[in-house]
């Protein structure tokens, strides 16, 4: 059962199911009955995303969610933003990068994990579940890294068919 416990712990690191703010400020949970104060609307309107190549949609999304988290908006806003401002082609490209992940020859296991997390964070709407993300990571590892990961998990972390 040791391998299963480690498997669960590893899967917790790459949870993309919900997009979370990358900042360290946690806002209190409040009732969902609210009115939007015009001041907040002006704050959001003053920093609109134009879609230019120099803008980072994920960075903008973080700023947007920080402002609107106070009012407990739901995930529909996030999905609408991502759908409208990140093209289907760009999404497909980002999903391909995640699905075809491979550890670089000169990359440590930790560096590879961080790089996969960056790919996932850049595409929070990838729609891959945690198990599939772990499979992409594991399958993309160099044999030595895979062996080290298995050893640390007390046995083969993911069964290869």
How far from the centroid of its chain's Cα atoms is residue 3's Cα? 25
In order, the DSSP letters of 26-88 are -PPP--S-----HHHHHHHHTT-----TTS-HHHHHHHHHHHHGGGT--HHHHHHHHHHHS-H
Do the domain assignments include residue 129?
yes
Q: Which residue has the higher pLDDT, 85 or 5?
A: 85
Do the domain assignments include residue 159?
no
Task: Please give the model's pTM, rounded to 2 decimal places.
Answer: 0.54
Do the domain assignments include residue 86?
yes
Do the domain assignments include residue 160?
no
Do the domain assignments include residue 145?
yes
Q: d(Cα 69, Cα 25) in Å, to the nearest integer?
A: 11
Ramachandran angles phi, psi of 39, nearest 5° = -60, -40
Do the domain assignments include residue 118?
yes
Do the domain assignments include residue 116?
yes
Q: Are 101 and 119 in contact (CB under 8 A)?
A: yes
Q: d(Cα 4, Cα 156) in Å, to the nearest integer?
A: 10
Q: d(Cα 5, Cα 137) in Å, to the nearest integer?
A: 18
Number of domains in the chain: 1
Mean pLDDT, all residues of the chain: 75
Of 7-16, 96-105, 148-157, which has the strongest mean pLDDT? 96-105
**pLDDT tens figures, 49-73:** 677 788 888 887 777 777 666 555 4
Do the domain assignments include residue 52?
yes
Domain range enclosing 101? 2-152
**pLDDT tens figures, 85-119:** 788 888 899 999 999 999 999 999 999 999 999 99
């Amino acid at each position: 059962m040791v391998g299963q416990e480690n498997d669960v712990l590893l899967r917790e690191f790459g949870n993309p199911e919900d997009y979370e703010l990358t900042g360290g400020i946690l806002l209190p949970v409040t009732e969902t009955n609210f009115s939007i104060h015009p001041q907040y609307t002006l704050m959001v309107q003053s920093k609109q995303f134009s879609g230019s190549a120099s803008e980072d949609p994920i960075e903008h999304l973080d700023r947007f969610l920080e402002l609107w988290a106070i009012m407990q908006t739901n995930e529909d806003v996030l999905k609408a933003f991502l759908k409208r401002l990140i093209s289907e082609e760009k999404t497909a490209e980002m999903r391909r990068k995640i699905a075809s992940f491979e550890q670089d020859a000169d990359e440590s296991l930790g560096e590879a994990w961080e790089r996969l997390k960056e790919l996932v964070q850049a595409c929070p709407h990838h729609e891959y579940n945690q198990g599939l993300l772990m499979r992409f990571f594991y399958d993309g590892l160099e044999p030595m890294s895979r062996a080290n990961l298995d050893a640390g998990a007390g046995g083969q972390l993911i069964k290869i068919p």
